[in-house]
């Protein structure tokens, strides 16, 4: 998933919003196949270099 999202962080945009936009965009343009499973929260956070906390 991390490679499909590419550079998803955007200055001035909350991480949660930027990540949601990146996942949605990747699904829409085919980088992530619709219906394919996403990694568990802990694994995704580690791969993306973010914390799971608020």
Distance CA 51, CA 42 (A): 9
Q: What is the DSSP string of 1-54?
A: -HHHH-S---TTS-HHHHHHHHHHHHHHHTSS-TTPPPPPHHHHHHHHT--S--
User: pLDDT averaged over consecutive 10-residue blocks of the chain (54 residues)?
Assistant: 90 94 93 88 92 78
pTM, 2 dp: 0.81
Token pair belonging to 5: 């999202």
pLDDT number for residue 53:
74
């Amino acid at each position: 998933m991390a490679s499909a999202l590419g550079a998803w962080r955007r200055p001035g945009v909350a991480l949660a919003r930027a990540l949601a936009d990146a996942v949605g965009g990747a699904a829409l343009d085919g980088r992530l196949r619709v219906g394919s499973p996403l990694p568990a929260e802990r694994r995704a956070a580690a791969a993306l270099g973010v914390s799971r906390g608020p």
